[in-house]
Structure 1
Amino acid sequence: MAIIEKAIENNEFGAYLRFGDGDVMLLNNLNDSFQTPSKKLANEMEEAFRINESGVIKSLAIHSNFFGFEQGMTNDSHKIEDYYAMQMLLKTHKFFKGQKVYSSVALHFLSITDPLRVNSFLRLLKSKVRLFVGNEDVTFNTLNKLFGSPSIVLIPKKNAYNEIDSIHEKCLEYIDSFENYGVVVVAMGCSGRTLIKRLLKSKKRQIYYFDFGSLLDGLDDHLTRKWLKVNKLDKTILLKDL
């Protein structure tokens, strides 16, 4: 997270993409809980996995006994069985050749173990966010608390990729209007990786694309993931002075 924080502080171009089991399923044209597969989506997901550009951080959800995990991670909270971690890496390792594999749950894990650290990051993020792209179920109160008053593109809770072309066009309209540096927060599950892949081709380079993840659900009191159900977020600390 420190690398991302430094890039945003210094107004640098870049992106953080959080790949997980759902992305791997869709990459192989298999069904995900929140998105039906298609050949077009599989092709775009492969393009997202293949990104190799300076400033772009690609992460993979493989915390396990074999690949390593942080103290406090469990099978219900950010850690997976070795078999599934190995299968995920075997299916994607060619896309990470010569690149580092980062953690896809850094912000989530720290929100439990070091909420003050996450609060500091959220305050920095809020000062830079210009556009939010995410689930239509997130309340405006939570969005305002976390991100201030950015431009907003709301997307369907399920099958967001089915509307990826119109979502992409809306995002470009806002991004083209940016006069100064800004962060684009994307919180739309697997489809978000394909959107960021597209947006990275924009001529605007004073932008950081941040893939937020399910912590947003927890801060909005939606316990959509097991890690949110087995852990209790300290929102008093996480949202302090935001």
Structure 2
Amino acid sequence: MIEKIRFKGSFYKANARYVAVKSYLRYKNLTPNVLSVESTVKKIIVSKSSVARFGDGEIRLMRGEDIEFQNASKELSLRLQEVLRSNEKGIIICIPDVFSNLNQYKDKAKYIWIKHLAKYYGYWAKSLNSDTIYYNAFITRPYIIYKSITLANERFNSIKSVWHEKNIIIIEGSKSRLGLGNDLFDNTKSIKRILCPTVNAFSKYNDILEEAKKIRKDNVILIALGPTATVLAYDLHQEGYQAIDIGHIDIEYEWYKMKANWTINVPDKHTNEALDNKAPEHVSDVTYNLQIIATVL
């Protein structure tokens, strides 16, 4: 999650603490090993892996802190810890590629991650295994955070290969509307959708899981439900599905098409990282509405 950025507080103080903590963890050989975006996408395609992703929001929830669109709970904290520390075959654990170097990111993104890591770097280190190879959570963020956008098109095309000629089920917030108005999923065989709460989706977790378990296992499941997606991908993998926490890929694609310099509102879609975050309750797109097979609200 990219927080809504307003430059307040002492960046220099945060940066000094970030540098000190990073140096200490590097000295202790506790810096996590995160593979590249390209290696991560290749792993998903070749191995048909499921994907559980962690970012700043998941860590805060694990510590019992609310985030903008999900209230904390003991159950959610414990489930996220379980997934992060798991070592299940066929599912990859993805974390942000921010622990060794931030130079590839825009200044705004660097500022956000320095603030976060200054406070939570120790908790990340305690929660991760230094002997584990982690995959890259930024597979769903190929564009907005990077200084250079030269690889964006290639990375979008690469991630599209994950669902090429596949029947997909999108489990998403009711206002997320992945693929509406763009060609992100035009290479699929078919699209069906299960709509869920835009805010506090984990409060309906059991109902969402039971609805998802009605899906045929020859479908690829793409989940865009914030931290709920992390847990849901793990549980559906246990049930024999390929389930991918796809995060903000659609909004990133919209920003890429718009040539946006930073997070802005996308018409007709919930854009929680934009300052002007508004989306209509309903849309009149016939194809989209016909794709909805269930609603859990």
Q: TM (normalized to structure 1)?
A: 0.75
Selected match of 2:163 from 113, 121, 126? 126
Give the direction of change, closer, same or farther, for the CA distance of 1:53–1:88 in structure 2 (3 Å limit). Answer: farther
Residue equivalent to 2:206: 165
Give the direction of change, closer, same or farther, for the CA distance of 1:184–1:81 in structure 2 (3 Å limit). Answer: closer
Give deviations 1:91-150, integer Å, cap 9, x for gaps.
133442121233322441357442321342243133235221112113376288433432
Give deviations 1:129-176, integer Å, cap 9, x for gaps.
5221112113376288433432311111100000000110111110xx
The residue identity in structure 2 corresponding to 1:165 is N
Q: Relative contact order, CA 8 A, sep 6+: which one is greater?
A: 1
Q: What is the CA–CA distance in structure 2 between the aligned matches of 1:57 and 1:78, rounded to whole Å?
A: 25
1:213 counterpart SS class: coil
Q: What is the CA–CA distance in structure 2 between the aligned matches of 1:109 and 1:31, rounded to whole Å?
A: 27
The residue identity in structure 1 corresponding to 2:237 is L
Selected match of 1:18 from 50, 53, 63? 53
Equivalenced residues, count: 217
Is 1:225 the counterpart of 2:273? The answer is: yes
**Identical-residue share of aligned pairs (%):** 20
Which structure has more helix as a fraction of its residues?
A: 1
Residue equivalent to 2:245: 211
Q: What is the CA–CA distance in structure 1 between the aligned matches of 2:111 and 2:252, rounded to whole Å?
A: 18
Selected match of 2:141 from 90, 108, 127? 108
- In the TM superposition, what is the alpha-carbon distance from 1:29 to its structure 2 partner? 1.7
Q: TM (normalized to structure 2)?
A: 0.63
Of 154-163 and 110-119, more deviation after overlay is shown by 110-119
Residue 184 of structure 2 contacts residue 250 of structure 2 at CA under 8 Å; is this kept in 1? no
Residue equivalent to 1:233: none
2:135 counterpart SS class: coil
Residue 16 of structure 1 contacts residue 56 of structure 1 at CA under 8 Å; is this kept in 2? yes
2:184 counterpart SS class: helix
Q: What is the CA–CA distance in structure 2 between the aligned matches of 1:3 and 1:69, rounded to whole Å?
A: 19
Residues 1-242 of structure 1 aligned to structure 2 (within 5 Å) = 1-10=37-46, 12-61=47-96, 63=98, 67-71=100-104, 73-77=105-109, 80-82=112-114, 84-85=116-117, 87-97=119-129, 98-110=131-143, 112-127=149-164, 128-139=166-177, 142=180, 145-147=183-185, 148=188, 149-174=190-215, 177-178=216-217, 180=218, 182-202=219-239, 204=240, 207-219=241-253, 221=266, 222=269, 223-225=271-273
Give the direction of change, closer, same or farther, for the CA distance of 1:37–1:201 in structure 2 (3 Å limit). Answer: same
Instruction: In structure 1, list runs of 5 or more residues that go unmatched.
Output: 230-242
Give the direction of change, closer, same or farther, for the CA distance of 1:60–1:107 in structure 2 (3 Å limit). Answer: same
Residue 107 of structure 1 contacts residue 118 of structure 1 at CA under 8 Å; is this kept in 2? no
Residue equivalent to 2:30: none
Q: What is the CA–CA distance in structure 2 between the aligned matches of 1:189 and 1:131, rounded to whole Å?
A: 17
The alignment yields a C-alpha RMSD, in angstroms, of 3.0
Q: What is the CA–CA distance in structure 2 between the aligned matches of 1:51 and 1:138, rounded to whole Å?
A: 29
Q: What is the CA–CA distance in structure 1 between the aligned matches of 2:121 and 2:50, rounded to whole Å?
A: 21
The residue identity in structure 1 corresponding to 2:250 is L
Q: What is the CA–CA distance in structure 2 between the aligned matches of 1:58 and 1:89, rounded to whole Å?
A: 18
Of 143-152 and 132-141, more deviation after overlay is shown by 143-152
The residue identity in structure 2 corresponding to 1:209 is A
1:186 counterpart SS class: strand
Large movers: runs of 4+ above 6 Å: none
